[in-house]
């Protein structure tokens, strides 16, 4: 089958985006097909594959009635479907708005993590209401029984072995609809540290659904530097939900200011995160979404 696609990126986090509203049955998207599309040697190459579908019930997750205009599905490069991707949400929105599939500037999109509402800004960036963060370790899930813990303002940190050598670090659990552990570093991390700890945490017995591992460094009260090792994709140039999780963890600990947007510098670009500090309020993510090229691949 010949499949049209669009290659896009959000701050360097790259995607293959496919309009699957009419042409493809849900069971067409096998793990092997997704892996082939995402392969940088044998396919198009991407961190994630994104599907634009019509709203419908999803494996126990109800469609959001008449609210949602689209269903947004996300597959990591390893072929497995995940709940949410912030950079992908911006590219998804840019895709449907640029093609006139919806009248902007805002759209309503169903995901496995709930309804999101991306909006195109005047500068052509996309801003997404990512929903409310959850700071309970059980929401990841993260099994914390027996771990040392300490409460820092609005969040509980846990001391976890983060490498095969038994190195311990304090980590902050944050769910943005998908699981994150945020670790604060005093100096810039090495590539080896990120890969070693990222791979270790992917198979950690206390994280049965794996985790996105964030390595953050405070620049000032409204700016951080961040690198993320994503489950199923490895380290990416940027991670939207990871940027949200790091900003939330910093604000919840009192290390970042909640009254102004937090600039999150990733290797692929800068993202802007806004959160009031209240668990009743949504986190907002803003940043670029760019089309790279279009094509057709034989599957």
Check if 91 is active-site. no
Cα distance between residue 248 and residue 257, in whole Å: 10
Q: Percentages helix, strand, coil for the chain, rounded to the nearest 5?
A: 15, 40, 45
The SS3 assignment for 264 reads strand
- What value does the CA radius of gyration of the chain take, rounded to a whole number of Å? 18
pLDDT at position 26, please? 75
Predicted structure pTM score: 0.92
Domain 137-281 CATH assignment equals 3.10.310.10: yes
139-156 pLDDT, tens digit per residue, is: 999 999 999 999 999 999
Residue 130 has pLDDT above 80, yes or no: yes
> Which among 49, 89, 224, 239 is annotated as catalytic?
239
Cα distance between residue 294 and residue 278, in whole Å: 41
CATH code, residues 2-129+289-298: 3.10.310.10
The 10 Å CB-count burial string (b at 16+, else e) for 67-79 is ebbbbbbbbbbeb
The enclosing H or E element of 84 equals none
**% of the chain surpassing 90 pLDDT:** 91
Cα 110 → chain centroid: 15
264-299 pLDDT, tens digit per residue, is: 999 999 999 999 999 999 999 999 999 999 999 998
Q: Which residues contact 174 (CB under 8 A, 6 or more apart)?
A: 133, 134, 135, 155, 180, 181, 182, 244, 245, 248, 249
Check if 85 is active-site. yes
44-79 pLDDT, tens digit per residue, is: 999 999 999 999 877 655 555 558 999 999 999 999
> Which among 37, 49, 82, 85 is annotated as catalytic?
85
**% of the chain surpassing 70 pLDDT:** 97
Q: What is the mean pLDDT of the chain?
A: 94
Q: Which of 120, 201, 190 is nearest to 158 (CA)?
A: 201
Task: Among 27-31, 145-149, 205-209, name the one with the lowest average pLDDT.
Answer: 27-31
CATH 3.10.310.10 domain range(s) in the chain: 2-129+289-298, 137-281
């Amino acid at each position: 089958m010949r499949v049209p696609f669009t290659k896009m990126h959000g701050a360097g986090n790259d995607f293959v985006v496919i309009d699957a509203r009419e042409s493809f049955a849900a069971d067409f998207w096998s793990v092997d097909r997704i892996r082939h599309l995402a392969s940088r040697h044998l396919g198009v190459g991407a961190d994630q594959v994104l599907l634009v579908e019509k709203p419908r019930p999803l494996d126990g997750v109800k469609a959001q009635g008449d609210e949602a205009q689209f269903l947004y599905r996300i597959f990591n490069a390893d072929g497995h479907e995940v709940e949410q991707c912030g950079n992908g949400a911006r590219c998804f929105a840019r895709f449907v708005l640029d093609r006139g599939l919806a009248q902007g500037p805002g759209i309503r999109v169903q995901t496995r993590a709930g309804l999101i509402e991306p909006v195109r800004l005047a500068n052509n960036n996309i801003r997404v209401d990512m929903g409310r963060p959850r700071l309970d370790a059980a929401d990841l899930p993260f099994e914390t029984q027996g771990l040392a813990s300490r409460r820092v303002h609005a969040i509980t940190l846990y001391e976890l072995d983060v490498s095969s050598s038994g190195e311990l670090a304090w980590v902050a659990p944050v769910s943005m609809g998908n699981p994150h552990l945020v670790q604060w570093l005093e100096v810039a991390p090495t590539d080896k540290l990120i890969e070693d700890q990222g791979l270790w945490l992917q198979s950690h017995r206390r994280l049965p659904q794996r985790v996105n591992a964030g390595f953050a460094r405070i620049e000032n009260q409204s700016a951080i530097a961040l690198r993320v090792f994503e489950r199923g994709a490895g380290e990416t140039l940027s991670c939207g939900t990871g940027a949200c999780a790091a900003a939330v963890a910093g604000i919840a600990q009192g290390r970042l200011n909640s009254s102004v947007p937090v600039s999150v510098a990733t290797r692929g670009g800068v993202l802007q995160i806004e959160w009031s500090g209240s668990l009743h309020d949504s986190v907002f993510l803003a940043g670029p979404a760019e089309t790279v090229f279009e094509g057709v691949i034989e599957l």
